[in-house]
Amino acid sequence: MDLTADPRLRSRTARASVGVAGSLVLLKLATWWYTGSTGLLGSALDSSFDLLASLLILWAVRAAERPPDADHPWGHGKAEGLASLFQGVFVLFAGLAFAAHTLERFFRPETRSELTGEWSGIVVMVVASIATVWLIERQRRTVQATGSPAIRADRAHYASDLGMNAAVALGLGLSWLLDGNPWPDLVVGLGVALIILNTARNVLVEAFSILMDAGLSPCDSRAILTAVRGCSERVRGFHELRSRRSGTDVFLELHLDLDRDLSFVEAHHLAESVQAAIQEAVPRSRVTVHTDPL
């Protein structure tokens, strides 16, 4: 994570997501109207919720970038968790609605129709995939620089779109080979519905983890242990490590075990050394150290 990254990087990436999602919604809806493809309808629906999610994330990262104030002394990072939660709920309902639509076409033959212009749909899926790959790479660089959980969740969603685009293109190709038979497209539609529902599950799990103040990952915990042990031989250990994440910031609190014969000044300097070592090991962390005599 680059601590010198432009603080507006998250906002610019979120605006790029809104632009890409909005363009893909219009393109896919127009092509669905022309082809009648269930797979394309599902992809357009998913892109519509991509757009909604990206708008939420744009609001969230702008709110999270605001500095702490009197009413929010810990900052505004939880806005990113709220955006992820709303995104997961919307995507869940989108997946359920689309699954119901596809199943209706499966069990009610009168709602089916032969497809037309399958190749136009395939071309649109290729264009959508190219735009999505560009956006995913931009989001990857932003997450690497800032650690934003909202951008990370958005990137995971767009990454799942690549498989969906390939599946839709495959279904359209098979339908074309079968002279417009809708069955391959319907099978792909069910697969798309499952992808949407799985994406909703992943986003909701991540959002609940952020909002419920889940602790650090085992990797970060090991980094803290290594940092404390390597700080000074006079540090005997630590206990009551507590952590929580708020947006891109990590708040840490621990009790440091020190010899009771150390002076107040020596104990203070050791606590500051441990604090600096942890902040280097866990970027964007805000560390509070309590000293306990042994």
Query: Which three-class secondary structure string do you get for the chain?
Result: CCCCCCCCHHHHHHHHHHHHHHHHHHHHHHHHHHHCCHHHHHHHHHHHHHHHHHHHHHHHHHHHCCCCCCCCCCCCCHHHHHHHHHHHHHHHHHHHHHHHHHHHHHHCHHHCCCCCCHHHHHHHHHHHHHHHHHHHHHHHHHHHHHCCHHHHHHHHHHHHHHHHHHHHHHHHHHHHHCCCCCHHHHHHHHHHHHHHHHHHHHHHHHHHHHHCCCCCCHHHHHHHHHHHHCCCCCEEEEEEEEEEEECCEEEEEEEEEECCCCCHHHHHHHHHHHHHHHHHHCCCEEEEEEEEEC
CA proximity to 198, closest of 140, 156, 165: 156
As a whole number, mean pLDDT of residues 155-183 equals 73
Q: Of 3.40.47.10, 3.90.1150.10, 3.30.70.1350, 1.10.10.10, which CATH number belongs to 218-293?
A: 3.30.70.1350
* Torsion angle of C-alpha atoms 285, 69, 7, 143, degrees rounded to 10: 50
Most confident by average pLDDT, 74-78, 137-141, 190-194, 255-259: 137-141
Most confident listed range (180-189, 244-253, 276-285): 276-285
pLDDT at 111 over 50: no
Measure CA 160 to chain center. Answer: 11
User: 275: which 2 tokens?
Assistant: 């604090």
Higher pLDDT, 238 or 20: 20
CATH of region 9-211, choose from 1.10.1200.10, 1.20.1510.10, 3.40.50.720, 1.10.645.10:
1.20.1510.10
Encode burial over 218-256: b for 16+ CB neighbours within 10 A, e otherwise. Answer: eebeebbeebbeebeeebeebeebebbbbbbbbbbebbb
- Global pTM value: 0.58
Confidence of residue 3 (pLDDT cuts 50, 70, 90): very low
Where exactly are the structural domains of the chain? 9-211, 218-293
Q: What is the mean pLDDT of residues 251-273?
A: 81
Is the confidence at residue 112, as pLDDT, over 50?
no
pLDDT digit string, tens, across residues 53-64: 788 778 777 766
